[in-house]
Amino acid sequence: MNKMRKEHNLTKNQKIIFDLIDKSSQPLKAYSILYNVQKKGIKAPLQVYRALDKLVEIGKIHKIESRNAFIACHNSSCQVAKATAFSICEICEKVTEISSAGLSKYLANFKDKDGMKYSKYNLEFFGLCKKCTLK
Amino acid sequence: MNKMRKEHNLTKNQKIIFDLIDKSSQPLKAYSILYNVQKKGIKAPLQVYRALDKLVEIGKIHKIESRNAFIACHNSSCQVAKATAFSICEICEKVTEISSAGLSKYLANFKDKDGMKYSKYNLEFFGLCKKCTLK
DNA sequence: TTTTTAGTTGTTATAATATAACACTATGTA
DNA sequence: TACATAGTGTTATATTATAACAACTAAAAA
């Protein structure tokens, strides 16, 4: 298996689960995914979690840690899940992946007090989305 | 209750649980906290979670979302849990709160594509700590 | 002082999230 | 073919977190 390859051939379960997440307008939770794919033959939590783990690993989806939910990656630059940033609306729970060259660059180069750099990061912003601000 | 006040008078349970977390060199998980405070009369998960919720709310502790664990705040500038950043070692799981004026300023002023600012953020960096880098 | 109020407590039960272990199957490659 | 690697299906279980309700407490208002 060529690790450099960008196109991963998803297996049946991975494809079913990725398609569901990809079509969704908001992040999906593991058990909600499970209920939605039971008619397609995926019966157990573990089948879902295994597919999710793999999809996260190859960067097709991201986990929103503060929500225990999963969202498809629509950011062509993050084929791997190593540098992620999201905005989360605290009212409607809308989540948007942020793709800002400035932000990525700043964080990728950030060094702590000891001068250490880190290989991955995950950033979650919270506040109100445009819609909810206007209400 | 004066919300401006910096010193919150912790209740008995909150104090027991804060002291435990504060003394710990690494983040603690809720059920590990529970086992550790059972001899002090805290018997149920909910008693722990309620104290944790309150302590997070007033900024005495922070939740490390990717680990479902809690760490005491040693950063005098974040009395409220609205702007947090951590480094997490992927080998030894050591977690350190980052307090960098530059980083805070950059993130507090960050605007997304639509020009939206957000009122809170949580950032988690992953990599190797100094010790584990040398191994 | 009495009353009110908000917040905390103790408790049982249960929901939601996630992994262990094992036997088996598919697929690519030597 | 034979081997290695990864994925599957399954049952059981571990881990993380909340619902609901009655009782108690401390501080502020009347």
CATH number at residue A116: 1.10.10.10
Chain B residues within 8 A of A91 when measuring between CB atoms = none
A71 φ/ψ sector (left φ>0, alpha ψ -120 to 50, else beta):
beta
Q: Report yes or no on B6 lying in a domain.
A: no
Three-state secondary structure along B70-112?
A: EEECCCCCCCCCCEEEEEEECCCCCEEECCCHHHHHHHHCCCC
pLDDT at A75: 77
Average pLDDT, chain A: 90
pLDDT at B2: 29
Sign of CA dihedral A33, B66, A130, A61: negative
Which nucleotides of strand C are protein-proximal, with an atom < 7 A from a CB?
Answer: 6-14, 16-21, 28-29
Q: Report yes or no on B5 lying in a domain.
A: no
Q: For A87-108, what is the mean pLDDT? A: 94
Closest CA to A70 of A82, A46, A53: A53
Query: Is the CB of B98 inside 8 Å of chain A's CB atoms?
Result: yes
pLDDT at B74: 83
Among candidates B98, B119, B127 on the partner chain, residue whose Cβ is nearest the Cβ of A120? B127
Burial string for B64-75 (b: 16+ CB within 10 Å, else e) reads bbbbebbbbbeb
Q: Report yes or no on A2 lying in a domain.
A: no
Q: B67 is written with which tokens?
A: 């680990």
Give CB contacts under 8 A, 24+ apart, made by A74-81.
A75/A99, A77/A104, A79/A6, A81/A56, A81/A57, A81/A120
What does the pLDDT look like over A45-79, one tens digit per residue? 999 999 999 999 999 999 999 999 999 998 765 55
> What is the Cα–Cα distance from B98 to B86, expressed in whole angstroms?
5
pLDDT at B21: 97
Spatial contact of A17 and A33, defined as CB atoms under 8 Å apart: yes
Please tell me whether any atom of strand D lies within 7 Å of the Cβ of B118: no
Spatial contact of A86 and A96, defined as CB atoms under 8 Å apart: yes
Q: Report yes or no on A1 lying in a domain.
A: no
- Are B126 and A118 within 8 A, CB to CB? yes
pLDDT at B6: 38
The DSSP symbol for B13 reads: H
- Are B119 and A112 within 8 A, CB to CB? no
The DSSP symbol for A58 reads: T
Q: Report yes or no on B63 lying in a domain.
A: yes
- What kind and span of H or E run contains B125? strand B120-127
Among candidates B87, B113, B114 on the partner chain, residue whose Cβ is nearest the Cβ of A112? B87
Site of tokens 């059972």: B38
Q: How many domains would you assign to chain B?
A: 1
Helices (H) and strands (E) in chain B, counts: 5, 5
Q: For A11-32, what is the mean pLDDT? A: 97
Average pLDDT, chain B: 90
Q: Which domain holds residue B64?
A: 12-134
Q: Report yes or no on A78 lying in a domain.
A: yes
Query: Is the CB of B75 inside 8 Å of chain A's CB atoms?
Result: no
Please tell me whether any atom of strand C lies within 7 Å of the Cβ of A1: yes
What does the pLDDT look like over B37-90, one tens digit per residue? 999 999 999 999 999 999 999 999 999 999 999 999 987 655 567 899 999 999
pLDDT of B17 higher than 50: yes
Strand pairing class (A95-97; A83-89): antiparallel
Which nucleotides of strand D are protein-proximal, with an atom < 7 A from a CB?
Answer: 5-13, 15-20, 27-28
Q: Report yes or no on A5 lying in a domain.
A: no
Helix, strand or coil for residue A115? coil
Q: For B119-130, what is the mean pLDDT? A: 96
pLDDT at B79: 55
pLDDT band at residue A9 under the 50/70/90 scheme: confident
